[in-house]
Amino acid sequence: MNLERKPDLQADLLIIGGGTAGPMAALKAKRKNPALDVLIVDKATVRRGGSICRGMDAFNNVTIPSKATAAEYVDSIQLMSDGIIDPNLSRIIAEKSFAILQELESLGVATFPRYANGEYMVQQFHPRGAFLAEMRGDIKPVMEKLIREAGVRILNRTMASRILTENGRAVGATLLNIRTGEFQVCRAKSIILCTGGQGRFALPDTGYLFGTFDCPYNAGEGHSMIYHAGGELVNMEYNDVSPMLKDYEGPGHSTFIRHGGHLVNSLGERFMAKYAPEMLERAPSGIREQAMRTEVREGRGPIYYDLRHLAKETIQIIKEGIFAAERPTEKQFFEMRGIDIGNDLIEITLSGPNMCGGHGPTGALVDENAETTVKNLFAAGDIASTGWGFVGAAWVFGMIAAETAAELNAKIAWGSIDDTAVQAEYQRLLAPTLLEDGFDPAEMEYKVRRIIKPHLTSPKSQARLESALGQIETFRRDMAKVKVTDSHELMKFAEVDAIIDTLEMAVRTSLTRKESRWGYGHYRIDYPQKDPAWDKHYVVAAKNQRSGCMTTYPKAVPEMRMQEGV
């Protein structure tokens, strides 16, 4: 293949990723300043790219004033994160989410079913407080149309590979068209990364590389880009593990549990009563994972969802949510297996570990403006550490990042592009196209991903983590042997490189946090207790700018600023 260098692009605001947060950011940037030149790029298309390509069954963290309070939301996230999420970010999500729900409703992007008395259908999934509002609608095409009409420029099938910086500030990005193999630079005054979580991480039990829970097209490239740009990532030692429909590896957990479903073992026991007698199925995910693994280890597996006690009307709402809004192909799957979710037990397995800011605390360290520790580089959605942010954080911080960037635009001068960095990136992507023979990117990907479950699943140990570091070194060596034949494979080459980067972050931060926290979220068999010295402290993964090597260090979590009503 030919990696063709195209003339540079330029945009006031470059948004990388057109899934959930990206289109909201684009819309809000244009609302704030219609003259702003906004460019959004997506590896797939803005119309159908990202985790919610078919929709989402709930606005899964909205604080509706009559239903819950901001204080309850902050409390719940503090409990789930065991104090390792900035509470100020949770407060912002709680305060701004309901206005977004109303706006999405008025724009016709989504509908929010209500009971006969006119109240929104809101259920409890978090340990405290009810924050999940039923949501319907084919969200993405409507959002795409809105941003097109607002004058946002859209570049589909385009992935970003590196952020270009000047004195610690983002000034542009390198882009690759995954269908044509064209390489170009986009200069920008500010950049918002909305590339999603690391969904293509541990090999799922399906044995199928792309049979993952979170969108497998989100391969952690954003995390990798922030890292190479000098930014900080936090909580990468946290194992994001969710219960999965066996063989489909698809969602259902939050829907089943918020509507009153139970988790049972093969003896029919509602086993969470032993591990979290008060919170039961609504216990933080690491506690739930520990419970499930213990049940299976002690011979009481498999584990099932039991919805058989739920009313017919409730089962109907669940079916509408999952089958019509979130993952319609799950309907086909259940039919193929002959499972009727209201009458049969639903066998489950465990995902991951993955890294998803929507389902856990992992991601880019951001402040209250969604700015990363690289100036003018923002991050929103599953890439950011905003604490079990789901769609709420994506929309709220997508909006905040865009409004901040739009406001700053007039005050920011254009940066200059370092051509040495551009050349280095061009050469990195060119190298696998020049090999006459070599490994397929998919073979390399399998080789890397197969070590994640054995080395990172809790209980973790120093010996297993150190052994993983040795393997990572060989992966880096062997990446030089990967050959690509077309631009699609070149995309995968860049993705595998990001998978290795995020794996190294997970392993090194797991070694650094010499304590156990979050149940099986991070359980060190050699340090089985929580250490108060680690309370309110992140482990940061970052690039040592002098050595070019990965470094980890503790960093204090910001205190809650006093605010009326919280």
Partner 1 sequence: MGIRVDKSKCTGCGRCAEECPGDVIHMNPDTHLPFNKYKNDCWYCGVCEVECPCGAATMEFPCLIV
Binding site for partner 1 (CB under 8 A): 43-45, 47-50, 53-54, 138, 157, 178-179, 206-212, 215-217, 247-248, 327-329, 332-333, 336, 442, 488, 491
Which residue type does 475 have? Answer: F
Sign for the pseudo-dihedral over CA of 450, 456, 458, 462 = positive
CB hemisphere CA count around 141 (13 angstroms): 3
Measured from the CB atom, the residue of 151 and 328 that comes closer to partner 1 is 328
By three-state DSSP, how is residue 380 classified? coil
Min dist CB 175 to partner 1, Å, is: 16
Min dist CB 502 to partner 1, Å, is: 19
Measured from the CB atom, the residue of 265 and 487 that comes closer to partner 1 is 487
Measured from the CB atom, the residue of 208 and 553 that comes closer to partner 1 is 208
Measured from the CB atom, the residue of 450 and 561 that comes closer to partner 1 is 450
Burial class (CB in 10 A: 0-12, 13-18, 19+), 291: buried
Min dist CB 206 to partner 1, Å, is: 5
CB distance 57 to 256 below 8 Å:
no
Min dist CB 54 to partner 1, Å, is: 6
369: tokens are: 């403006």
Min dist CB 208 to partner 1, Å, is: 4
Measured from the CB atom, the residue of 157 and 449 that comes closer to partner 1 is 157
Q: Beta partners for 11?
A: 188
Q: How far apart are CA 360 and CA 524, in angstroms?
A: 18
Min dist CB 333 to partner 1, Å, is: 7
Min dist CB 258 to partner 1, Å, is: 23
By three-state DSSP, how is residue 251 classified? coil
Min dist CB 43 to partner 1, Å, is: 8
Min dist CB 351 to partner 1, Å, is: 14
Using N-to-C axis directions, what is the helix angle for 487-512 and 419-434, rounded to 10°? Answer: 110
Listed in sequence order, the residues at least 6 apart from 367 whose beta carbon sits closer than 8 Å to its beta carbon are none
Measured from the CB atom, the residue of 247 and 478 that comes closer to partner 1 is 247
Measured from the CB atom, the residue of 212 and 349 that comes closer to partner 1 is 212
Measured from the CB atom, the residue of 329 and 474 that comes closer to partner 1 is 329
Q: In angstroms, what CA-CA distances link 106 with 25, 269, 430? A: 18, 45, 47
Measured from the CB atom, the residue of 180 and 369 that comes closer to partner 1 is 180
Q: How far apart are CA 224 and CA 227, in angstroms?
A: 5
By three-state DSSP, how is residue 386 classified? coil
DSSP 474-489: HHHHHGGGB--SSHHH
By three-state DSSP, how is residue 229 classified? coil
What 316-320 contacts at long range (C-beta under 8 Å, 24+ apart), as own/partner pairs, is 317/113, 317/121, 317/134, 317/259, 318/255, 318/256, 318/259, 320/57, 320/136
Min dist CB 48 to partner 1, Å, is: 5
Burial class (CB in 10 A: 0-12, 13-18, 19+), 154: buried
Min dist CB 34 to partner 1, Å, is: 28
By three-state DSSP, how is residue 318 classified? helix
Measured from the CB atom, the residue of 30 and 157 that comes closer to partner 1 is 157
Min dist CB 146 to partner 1, Å, is: 17
Report the residue count for the chain: 566
Measured from the CB atom, the residue of 31 and 54 that comes closer to partner 1 is 54
Measured from the CB atom, the residue of 129 and 204 that comes closer to partner 1 is 204
Min dist CB 216 to partner 1, Å, is: 5
Neighbours of 332 (CB within 10 A): 12
How big, in percent rounded to 5, are the helix, strand and coil portions of the chain? 40, 20, 40
Measured from the CB atom, the residue of 366 and 429 that comes closer to partner 1 is 429
Q: For Cα atoms 113, 285, 345, give the angle at the middle one, nearest 5 degrees.
A: 65
116: tokens are: 């006969």
Q: How far apart are CA 131 and CA 124, in angstroms?
A: 6
Min dist CB 178 to partner 1, Å, is: 6
454: tokens are: 């054995």
Q: For Cα atoms 41, 172, 44, give the angle at the middle one, nearest 5 degrees.
A: 15
Measured from the CB atom, the residue of 247 and 418 that comes closer to partner 1 is 247
